[in-house]
Structure 1
Amino acid sequence: MSAPTDDKVVARLSTLDRFLPVWIGVAMVAGLFLGRLIPGVDTAIEKVQIDGVSLPIALGLLIMMYPVLAKVRYDRLDTVTGDRKLLIGSLVLNWVVGPALMFTLAWLMLPDLPEYRTGLIIVGLARCIAMVIIWNDLACGDREAAAVLVAINSVFQVIMFAVLGWFYLSVLPGWLGLEQTTIDASPWQIAKSVLIFLGIPLVAGYLSRRIGERAKGRDWYEQSFIPKIDPWALYGLLFTIVILFSLQGDQIASKPWDVVRIALPLLAYFAVMWGGGYLLGAAMRLGYARTTTLAFTAAGNNFELAIAVAIGTYGATSGQALAGVVGPLIEVPVLVALVYVSLALRRRFPFTAAPTTAARNVR
């Protein structure tokens, strides 16, 4: 069965999905103005937390991720875990290429700004476990593959984040004769981020499908329940964006040139990682759906963890924290644009793979 063309895919999108770039732009501007125009709103939001976890951000992310994970066909995960090319390609892109590329870009483009440089390196170490699920779903990627790759990233994040932080901020600069710095990120801090932002919605999504299908059948679950909860993924995304940008509205607005300096290596990073993932997937003949998933999981970053580590180590007003916040400022519009690039490339994609979930993935 041939995959639908990008025109058909876009035609089936809801109004909310079709004008997503507009809503995201409005949410970003609203967050920036909220942070600038209402005195103390950033402080008030920061105070609503438990054990260092921002409750408003956690709420937005949980609402955002639950509908997508509730769509996953968990009985099909074995078709992904048996795809060694996909798994190995993802591990190499995420844990070898990604951190090394961000380290290189940060040093090449921010040699005179050590705080921002360190912040970007931290962003590069924090592999995506949240928003990538939204981008993958909008681009009609393989949901089951995304769930597996995100789970793998989560495990590696707990094990490798602190180790890679030590290597890229202290050991490698020492070998190269560059300025060294340190990072303070406990395994519990990282595990806590994974458990909250991925574990809770993953368990909720799995139980929803299992209980719903047992009680009323798969047809009811797919055709009645899923359409009702589906829009909440984007509601959660927009809410999260408003909160994030309200927290740093003053800094972003008062340091526009610094934001531009930070944005340039980020733009290069997202383009190279997404493009590299797409080329690798095509070379390995993964098919459109899994190639798209590979590309987006490689390009996305766990900005929640990066910001938390930067604030915990260097302070909320530090340059490292600002670099972390600029991460989603650039990532969100860039990856939304790449969703549309993916859809445009879909009918021109040269290879198919079996089994694939591409036909099922039209929203």
Structure 2
Amino acid sequence: MGIFERYLSVWVGLAIIAGIAAGSLVPGVFAMVAAWEFAHVNLAVALLIWLMIYPMMVQVDFSSIRDVGRNPRGLVLTLVINWLIKPFTMALLGWLFFRVIFADMVDPQTASEYIAGMILLGVAPCTAMVFVWSQLTRGDANYTLVQVSINDVIMIFAFAPIAGLLLGISDIHVPWDTLLLSVLLYVLVPLLAGAWTRHKLDRADDHSRLNAFLARMKPWSILGLLATVVLLFGFQAQTILANPMAIVLIAIPLLIQTYGIFAIAYTMALRMKLPHAVAAPACMIGTSNFFELAVAVAISLFGLHSGAALATVVGVLVEVPVMLSLVAFANRTRGWFSPVATDESVPPVAEG
């Protein structure tokens, strides 16, 4: 794990401080950047998010999908958690905290936006950072590729319908044209671009060109993440300074959701008798979020200054230290799992 991944929470924290400081000192600059919009999509943020997402998509080896039938139970676990449990528990927690528990502390419109941001986080399963979590738990790298690849394919078709359903149930107006455009811009197009790039660079017997390309792109991906955080918190600076408790209020249900989903997934993995090398990454995928996508869609749907955008960015701040604690727990409990895989192993596939 490189210095960026190891200290990601530190860099994000510094970017948050820088964004709030800049947004309060030079609000006119952020107002000008906020005006760069086309079809409700801020062009500056869209470019930065593309810098984040594109290298992640290049890492995904979709040829691994053909091997899924050889070891299906780990995939079943992550699909059940990601698409049948997590989005709905996130929506429930958002409603419980911001419509009931914190109802007297947040105005109804802002509460709706916080709930929307949480829902968008819940419908976006992790794509890139899960490779880090898998490595830290000594997971099966090839099987992790299978899990991520399948989830990304499903996300193309399921993200918008599930998000629209839950946003509608939460009494939030769903601009379907913007939501579908966001899925096209931030999921389908990057996936196709990543697959095309991987096809051009990767060779069955030599991954050096692909690895060199990813190494060159990594600094740009890091820059995109940190610059996006600076912009978002710069746009939200006045709101945060006027109400710093907003960060705490959003973080509480996100923490409960993250630890709760992991507990459910880990218990299911134990009952299914999965090998630890498959179970740990599956649980990490189900627990963590594709926050880049959630941020992009929140901005497109609700605006740069919205509570939804703030909620998705708080998700970045919360996720990294929490996931590191779960990695430590998974490693300490390795002995709970059978050391021998009960399913036939998946043949090796090219790693990204």
Q: TM-score range by the shorter chain?
A: 0.7 to 0.9
Q: Does 1:305 align with 2:297?
A: yes
Which residue of structure 2 aligns with residue 4 of structure 1?
A: none
Distance 1:259 1:16, change over 3 A: closer
- Alpha-carbon deviations, 1:25-56, whole Å to 9, x = none? 11111111121111223322221222111122
Query: Matches of 1:358 and 1:128 in 2, distance apart?
Result: 31
Contact kept in structure 1, 2:86 and 2:122, CA below 8 Å: no
Query: Matches of 2:216 and 2:318 in 1, distance apart?
Result: 28
Q: Does 1:184 align with 2:174?
A: yes
Query: Matches of 2:346 and 2:320 in 1, distance apart?
Result: 23
Q: Does 1:207 align with 2:209?
A: no
Query: Matches of 1:62 and 1:42 in 2, distance apart?
Result: 20
Q: Does 1:161 align with 2:146?
A: no
Which of 235, 248, 255 is residue 243 of structure 2 equivalent to? 255
Which residue of structure 2 aligns with residue 322 of structure 1?
A: 307
- Alpha-carbon deviations, 1:305-358, whole Å to 9, x = none? 2343334xxxx66xxx225413322x1132211342344334743246553699
Which residue of structure 2 aligns with residue 176 of structure 1?
A: none
Q: Does 1:120 align with 2:120?
A: no
Which residue of structure 2 aligns with residue 238 of structure 1?
A: 226
TM-score, normalised on structure 2?
A: 0.79
RMSD of aligned Cα (Å) = 3.2
Query: Matches of 2:80 and 2:182 in 1, distance apart?
Result: 23
Query: Matches of 1:280 and 1:342 in 2, distance apart?
Result: 16
Which residue of structure 1 aligns with residue 345 of structure 2?
A: 355
What's the offset of the Cα at 1:224? 3.1
Question: Structure 2: which amino acid aligns with 1:229?
Answer: M
Structure 1 window deviating more from structure 2 (279-288 vs 23-32): it is: 279-288
Q: Does 1:133 align with 2:127?
A: yes
Q: SS of 1:218's equivalent?
A: coil
Contact kept in structure 2, 1:70 and 1:208, CA below 8 Å: yes
TM-score, normalised on structure 1?
A: 0.77
Contact kept in structure 2, 1:65 and 1:131, CA below 8 Å: no
What's the offset of the Cα at 1:136? 0.8
Q: How many residues of Structure 1 are paired with residues of Structure 2 in the alignment?
A: 328
Structure 1: unaligned runs, 5 residues or longer: 1-12, 170-180
Which of 260, 265, 274 is residue 272 of structure 1 equivalent to? 260
Query: Matches of 2:259 and 2:283 in 1, distance apart?
Result: 14
Structure 2: unaligned runs, 5 residues or longer: 136-143
Structure 1 window deviating more from structure 2 (226-235 vs 243-252): it is: 226-235
Contact kept in structure 1, 2:55 and 2:217, CA below 8 Å: yes
Distance 1:131 1:99, change over 3 A: closer
- Alpha-carbon deviations, 1:146-182, whole Å to 9, x = none? 232133133112223323322x22xxxxxxxxxxx44
Question: Structure 2: which amino acid aligns with 1:106?
Answer: G
Query: Matches of 1:79 and 1:127 in 2, distance apart?
Result: 29
What's the offset of the Cα at 1:60? 1.7
Q: Does 1:296 align with 2:298?
A: no
Question: Structure 1: which amino acid aligns with 2:311?
Answer: V
What's the offset of the Cα at 1:295? 3.4
Structure 1 window deviating more from structure 2 (95-104 vs 198-207): it is: 95-104
Query: Matches of 1:338 and 1:144 in 2, distance apart?
Result: 24
- Identity level (%): 23
Question: Structure 1: which amino acid aligns with 2:214?
Answer: I
